[in-house]
Structure 1
Amino acid sequence: MMARIPLDKAIEQSGQTEREMLEKVRPILDFAATEIGLPVKGSYHSYVSLERDYPVYVVTAAPEFSLDAKLWCYLVIGCASYRGYFDYSKALQYAKNLQQVESVDVYVRGANAYSTLGWFDDPILPSMLRYGEVYLAELLFHELTHQKIYLNGDTDFNEALASAVAEIATGQWLEQQNENQNLQNADIGNYQQSLQMREDFDALIAVHKSRLLTLYNAVSAVELDSDALVENRAAKQALSEQLMTDYQALKSSKWKGDDRYDNWFNEPVNNARLSGISSYRENVAMFKAMYADCGNDFARFFESLKDKQVDEALAASCH
Structure 2
Amino acid sequence: MRLALITMLVLLAGCRSVGYYAHVSHGQMALLAARKPIDKVIDDPKTPDKVRKRLVTARDARRFASDQLDLPANRSYTYYVQLDRPWVAYNVFATPELSVDPVVHCFPFAGCVSYRGYFRRELADREAARQQALGYDVSIGDVPAYSTLGWFADPLLSSMLGWDDDDLVGTIFHELAHQKIYVKNDSSFNESYASFVEQEGVREWHAAKGLVAPDPKGDMLSRSFTQQVLALRDGLKAMYAMPMTDEVKRVAKAEAFEVFRGQYLAWRANEAGGDHRYDRWMAQPMNNAKLLPFGLYDQWTGAFATLFDNSGRQWPAFFTAVATLAKLPPDKRTRELKALQPL
Relative to structure 1, the CA distance from residue 311 to residue 170 in structure 2 (aligned partners, 3 Å threshold; closer, same or farther) is farther
Any idea what the Cα deviations from partners look like across 1:144-180, whole Å, max 9, x if unmatched?
A: 1110111112222222222222122212212222x2x
Aligned positions of 1:268-287 closer than 5 A: 268-287=285-304
Amino acid at match of 1:215: M
Amino acid at match of 1:97: R
Any idea what the Cα deviations from partners look like across 1:6-65, whole Å, max 9, x if unmatched?
A: 111111231100000001112111221222221131101111111011111111112222
Which residue does the alignment assign to 1:120? 152
- Asked whether the 8 Å contact 1:78–1:153 carries over to 2, the reply is yes
Which residue does the alignment assign to 1:256? 273
- The alpha carbon displacement at 1:213 in A equals 2.1
**What's the TM-score, normalizing by structure 1?**
0.88
Relative to structure 1, the CA distance from residue 258 to residue 58 in structure 2 (aligned partners, 3 Å threshold; closer, same or farther) is same
- The alpha carbon displacement at 1:293 in A equals 4.2
Aligned positions of 1:180-219 closer than 5 A: 183=211, 185=212, 188-190=213-215, 192-218=216-242
Distance 2:311 2:114 in 1: 30
SS at match of 1:174: helix
Aligned positions of 1:65-84 closer than 5 A: 65-84=98-117
| Residue of structure 1 aligned with 2:71, choices 23, 33, 38 | 38
Matched, 1:25 2:58: yes
Distance 2:256 2:312 in 1: 41
Distance 1:287 1:273 in 2: 27
Which residue does the alignment assign to 1:99? 132
Relative to structure 1, the CA distance from residue 263 to residue 287 in structure 2 (aligned partners, 3 Å threshold; closer, same or farther) is farther
Aligned residues: 303
Distance 1:31 1:110 in 2: 28
Which residue does the alignment assign to 2:25? none
Amino acid at match of 1:144: L
**What's the TM-score, normalizing by structure 2?**
0.82
- The alpha carbon displacement at 1:239 in A equals 1.1
Relative to structure 1, the CA distance from residue 138 to residue 15 in structure 2 (aligned partners, 3 Å threshold; closer, same or farther) is same
- The alpha carbon displacement at 1:189 in A equals 4.8
What residue ranges of structure 1 are gaps of 5+ in the alignment? Answer: none
- Asked whether the 8 Å contact 2:38–2:78 carries over to 1, the reply is yes
- The alpha carbon displacement at 1:261 in A equals 1.5
Question: Please, what is the CA RMSD of the aligned residues?
Answer: 2.1
Distance 2:71 2:197 in 1: 10
What residue ranges of structure 2 are gaps of 5+ in the alignment? Answer: 1-31
SS at match of 1:53: coil
SS at match of 1:69: coil
Relative to structure 1, the CA distance from residue 31 to residue 3 in structure 2 (aligned partners, 3 Å threshold; closer, same or farther) is same
- The alpha carbon displacement at 1:269 in A equals 3.2
